[in-house]
Amino acid sequence: TPTAPTPAPQTPAAPHVEAARAPSGPVSRPGELPNGPAATKAMADAGITAAQVGAGSGKDGRVTKGDVLAFLSKPAAAPAAPAAKAPARALETGEERVKMTRLRQTIARRLKEAQNTAAMLTTFNEVDMGAVMALRNEYKDVFEKRHGVKLGFMSFFVKACVAALKEYPAVNAEIEGDEIIYKHFVHMGIAVGGPSGLVVPVLRNADTLGFAQIEKSIGDFGKRARDGALKLEELTGGSFTITNGGIYGSLMSTPILNPPQSGILGMHKIQERPMVVGGKIEARPMMYLALSYDHRIVDGKEAVSFLVRVKEAIEDPRRLMLDV
């Protein structure tokens, strides 16, 4: 089953989806003052208007981001002209019909948009987690005591991806019209489970953060995702995404891109497998990695090399400390 993250409360579902670019001017209802830029962008991302949201809770009746989120979380109203739709299938005993929320509808639309737009391809590799596990076991107690947060595996993968993205910048770029936008920063999307599905909060400037800052931010994202307290602006603007299906037991999957991003890394469960090490068979803690990428901008050689670079950094985490 593909693992796909999702971005704004309009999107990351089973992986993912980042918000589209907002229109240049604010959207307002007749006779009212323009809404703020955050609310305007949120409505543009979700494909809705201020008239649909209704009376705003902001000053002078302006629509706020909170109003947009509240609107998206409600089940969509029945269509005005149901006769225009194809007749609904009669339900059998034991079935029930539940209207999709606007958020889930947006997620579905964005995921399909990713498949229809990008030339999506996935390359696989596997990584021996032994070195990272040993390093983590050695320093986890002192790390938690000093920084007040547990040392997990995700920070190692964020660091490894940052190093690989610097070496292969096309994986961190995006296509806009007939131009490629290269980014000299890494805004790392981290797919986390929320009450309404998978969302992808963005770890901004991840290339400037240390292990403790990364772990604290990811822990905070996870908690607030469960509480439904993530902010709209935290779910947009990512340049690359990591999704970890391993926490649910996934052994291998093909992540779906989070448009307009050009790459997403899928992590999976750690499982002991027989591997040949120094001519002898050993049981090693192995993890399959999957990199889905947009072949319009990322060549196969770049994608494979990127994934190998991540593998090398995880199998010898000292490389991350020395930036080699």
Hey, which residues are catalytic here? 295, 299
CA angle 296, 302, 308 (to 5 degrees): 140
Phi, psi for residue 123 in degrees, rounded to 5 = -120, 150
State the Cα–Cα distance between residues 162 and 165, nearest whole angstrom.
5
- Tell me which residue has tokens 């999307």: 189
Helix (H, G, I), strand (E, B) or coil at 243: strand
Residues 6+ positions from 265 with CB-CB distance below 8 Å: 157, 161, 240, 241, 242, 243, 255, 289, 290, 291, 307, 310
> Residue 312 is inside which H or E element, if any?
helix 300-315
User: In 224-262, at which residue ranges do the beta strands (DSSP E only) sit?
Assistant: 240-244
Q: Give Rg (Cα) of the chain.
A: 21
* Contact yes or no for 227/194 (Cβ under 8 A): no
Question: What is residue 33's three-state secondary structure?
Answer: coil
Q: Which helix (H) or strand (E) holds 315?
A: helix 300-315
